[in-house]
């Protein structure tokens, strides 16, 4: 997945973005005043996973991080992606168009997470790239605590991110993990974590994938703790689950959504 959010933002001054990020990378302890942690151990279809994330975005009262699994090998592709680019995988993988942007991501053995930031939380007021970088900074902290040598991609002199419709459309055509961009998580010369975003009036959704490295059982706990010193374990409510089932059938599991472009 790439840093480019799926909604089309107007171009922002890059120097201002750089100031926003560079002055606050030491903030990950207490980035969120409180964080709800949902370890969704039941594997879901690709459509259901996307639907749960959207319903959480609509209903969250405090920031949430959800870790989840896939019922079968899956492939998600960004909102601006073309179905023709992924159709070849339909016989072997559960295909789904994400509501967030970015490119093609293969799921199955990866550790997948979503972070929901409601609009009433102070973090929502930060720029999308600042949120992206700070979350990945926290992930690097967690990975390094379990012995993985992880760094943010800006150390590699990668190209700057342009948040525009043209860039989002271009980015949707590649395998995200073959194309690292600024603030992705790297181990050596390999990208091991990327994400994509969606911002609405209700809040901000970031969907991320961690792959290409051995997943330590403590990683989810350390990742959450790097984001907030006030974490609480919660479960997905029955109301959220029922709404997600309806949304999965009506939207994410439909041919019209899958073949939208």
Residue 201 has, within 13 A of its CA and on its CB side, a CA count of: 0
Indicate the angle between helix axes 219-227 and 128-145, nearest 10 degrees.
130
Nearest one of 124, 140, 151 to 31, comparing CA atoms: 124
Q: Is 176 a catalytic residue?
A: yes
CA 108/CA 106 separation, integer angstroms: 7
CA 158/CA 101 separation, integer angstroms: 19
Q: What are phi and psi of 104, to 5 degrees?
A: -85, 135
Task: Write out the two tokens for 6.
Answer: 């799926």
Element (H or E) spanning 97, and its range? strand 94-97
Residue 147 exposed, middle or buried by CB count within 10 Å (0-12, 13-18, 19+): exposed
Greatest distance between any 2 Cα atoms in the chain: 47
Task: Write out the two tokens for 146.
Answer: 């379990």
Active site residue: 176, 183, 186, 192, which one? 176
Active site residues: 176
């Amino acid at each position: 997945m790439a840093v480019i959010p799926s909604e089309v933002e107007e171009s922002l001054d890059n120097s201002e973005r750089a100031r926003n990020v560079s002055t606050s990378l030491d903030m990950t302890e207490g980035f969120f005043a409180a964080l709800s942690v949902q370890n969704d151990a039941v594997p879901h279809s690709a459509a259901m996973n996307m639907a749960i994330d959207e319903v959480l975005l609509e209903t969250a009262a405090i920031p949430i991080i959800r870790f989840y699994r896939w019922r079968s090998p899956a492939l998600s592709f960004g909102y601006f992606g073309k179905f023709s680019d992924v159709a070849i995988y339909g016989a072997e993988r559960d295909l789904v168009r994400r509501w967030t942007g970015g490119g093609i991501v293969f799921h199955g053995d990866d550790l997948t997470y979503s972070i929901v930031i409601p609009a009433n939380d102070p973090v929502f007021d930060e720029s999308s790239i600042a949120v992206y970088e700070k979350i990945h900074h926290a992930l690097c902290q967690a990975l390094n605590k379990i012995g993985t040598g992880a760094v943010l991609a800006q150390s590699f002199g990668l190209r700057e991110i342009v948040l525009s419709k043209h860039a989002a459309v271009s980015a949707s055509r590649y395998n995200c993990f073959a194309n690292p961009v600024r603030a992705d998580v790297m181990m050596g010369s390999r990208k091991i974590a990327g994400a994509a975003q969606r911002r609405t009036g209700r809040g901000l959704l970031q969907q991320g994938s961690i792959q290409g490295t051995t997943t330590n059982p403590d990683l989810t706990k350390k990742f959450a703790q790097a984001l907030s010193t006030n974490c609480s374990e919660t479960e997905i409510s029955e109301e959220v689950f029922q709404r997600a089932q309806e949304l999965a059938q009506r939207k994410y599991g439909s041919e019209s959504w899958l073949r939208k472009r």
